[in-house]
Amino acid sequence: MDLSKRGTFGSKFGIIAAVAGSAIGLGNIWRFPYVAGSNGGGAFLLIYLIIVLAIGLPVMLSEFIIGRATQRNPYDAFKKLSPNGHWYIIGIMGIFAAFMILAFYSTVAGWTLEYIYQSVINGFKGKSAGEINQMFTSFNTNTLRPVMWQVIFMLMTAVIVLGGVEKGIEKYTKILMPLLLIIIIILDVKALSLPDAREGISFLFKPDFSKITPNVILSALGQAFFSLSIGMGTLITYGSYIQKKDNLTSSAAIVIIADTAIAILAGVAIFPIVFHFGLKPTEGVALVFKTLPNIFAQMTGGTIFAVLFFVLLTVAAITSSISLLEVIVAFFVERLKMKRINATIFATVSVSYLGTLCAMSEGGFSNFRLFNMNFFNLFDNTAAKILLPLGGCLIALFVGWFYGKDKTWLEISNRGKLKVGYLNIFMFLIKYIAPLAIALVFLNGLGLFKF
Ligand code: TRP
């Protein structure tokens, strides 16, 4: 590979916008509320925040360090740093994770497309909560419609990746993502002005410690990794584009704060609606789609707001899905020496096939159950609760024990130019806390090991 041709992010804002574009997506607005709702609300949020700070931040920084130090994709980065080791397996696991995540991610993005359509034809107007609930159920149990939207979404993603216009997309997302934030804040205000908003807010913010179980902790770990796009090496690739003069730590910190803030703001909009309209927080994957339309159905200008919201949510999903597809395409091109166009077509077709299983998991495949899960939940859980934590654990072990303190210091201090007063804390977290915590949460949560 000719390294002189490798691009870099032009500015600090450019890095943050790109990494935030990958991190912020359906994970914040669709997945966070549904997982928090199914895992006890406040207790989940508390554990989530601790994990983001004590594990998420160090692992994200580790991926940046490996990426910028080597200027390689994940597979080659580990090969370069450890030619005889097997750390490159992290890169291979990342490919599997990307496949699985894209399969259900494109399914949910497809639901979002359906909801753009419903908003345009004014489909929520005047509907009761029960009818809005029924609307999602009848859509999702339909065998072809979710598949159609899922395939359309994958085609949109593929066209962008093929056209190589991701950079052009980034230009628009710098305007569109702040707009999404504004709409979420307006929805927050609406939700908070519901007469019984307090109930939803205390569900999200008041921890009920009796709700904490090993599976709740594992769910929080998986959600943190998923939402921050860590544990599969994607941010190694992003790190490889960061300039040598930029500050890795503050970039990671800003992305983490933005990502977490958006997830919480989404929760603040959703939970008051849940309780006001007599829904259950444990609704599962459909939670966002069964709650927000109730507000759109009632507010003035609700149709326009609904269209805007679902369009912007689709944009947020696309900026994440292009980077997920890129993980697979880059691997096919660089490792298997495929042509870019063939790699993209092959990746898109195989993801769409897996996606079809997810999209039909309540329709044509509703009878399929493995470990008591349908295809959708199987992929969702395997990626978030197994592959990402495992990848994150290995990345932490790699930087903590193999790469070591001296080289880590060189990279995060920009060869001594920045002061790194937190080096010892970082090394402690990455050597002991992160790997041990992940391993314990993992084994305990899966029930492989009991305390
Ligand atoms: N973080 C993304 C979201 O919250 C989803 C995601 C997980 C992702 N892993 C990724 C995106 C890797 C890009 C690359 O929606």
Q: How many CA atoms lie within 13 A of 46 on its CB side?
A: 13
Is 202 a member of any domain?
Answer: yes
CA distance 66 to 62: 6
The answer to whether the CB of 230 is under 6 A from ligand 1 is no
Is 206 a member of any domain?
Answer: yes
Is 134 a member of any domain?
Answer: yes
Which residue from 28, 90, 226 has its CB within 8 A of the most atoms of ligand 1, so it is best to mutate? 226
Q: How far is CA 436 from CA 236, 440, 443, in A?
A: 22, 6, 11
Is 166 a member of any domain?
Answer: yes
Number of Cβ within a 10 Å radius of residue 7: 8
Share of the chain above pLDDT 90, in %: 80
Higher pLDDT, 445 or 154: 154
Domain range holding 52?
3-445
What integer pLDDT is reported at residue 164 of this predicted model? Answer: 73
Is 340 a member of any domain?
Answer: yes
Higher pLDDT, 267 or 326: 267
pLDDT in tens, 249-259: 999 999 999 99
Query: Average per-residue pLDDT in the chain?
Result: 93
CA distance 284 to 133: 12
Closest C-alpha to ligand 1, atom 11: 320
Identify the bridge partners of residue 163 per DSSP, sorted by sequence position.
none
Is 254 a member of any domain?
Answer: yes
What integer pLDDT is reported at residue 442 of this predicted model? Answer: 87
The answer to whether the CB of 323 is under 6 A from ligand 1 is yes
Number of Cβ within a 10 Å radius of residue 367: 6
CA 234 / ligand 1 centre spacing (Å): 9
pLDDT in tens, 255-290: 999 999 999 999 999 999 999 999 999 999 999 999
Is 266 a member of any domain?
Answer: yes
Which residue from 320, 322, 385 has its CB within 8 A of the most atoms of ligand 1, so it is best to mutate? 320
The answer to whether the CB of 22 is under 6 A from ligand 1 is yes
Confidence of residue 6 (pLDDT cuts 50, 70, 90): low
CATH number at residue 146: 1.20.1740.10
What integer pLDDT is reported at residue 2 of this predicted model? Answer: 37
What integer pLDDT is reported at residue 7 of this predicted model? Answer: 66
Confidence of residue 174 (pLDDT cuts 50, 70, 90): confident
Higher pLDDT, 72 or 39: 39
Identify the bridge partners of residue 370 per DSSP, sorted by sequence position.
373
What integer pLDDT is reported at residue 450 of this predicted model? Answer: 64
Instruction: Compute the residue count for the chain.
Output: 451
Q: Of 47-51, 231-235, 371-375, give the lowest mean pLDDT range.
A: 371-375
Confidence of residue 1 (pLDDT cuts 50, 70, 90): very low
Amino acid letter, residue 115 = Y
Q: What is the mean pLDDT of residues 171-190?
A: 90
449: pLDDT strictly greater than 80: no
Number of domains observed in the structure of the chain: 1
Confidence of residue 3 (pLDDT cuts 50, 70, 90): very low
Is 451 a member of any domain?
Answer: no
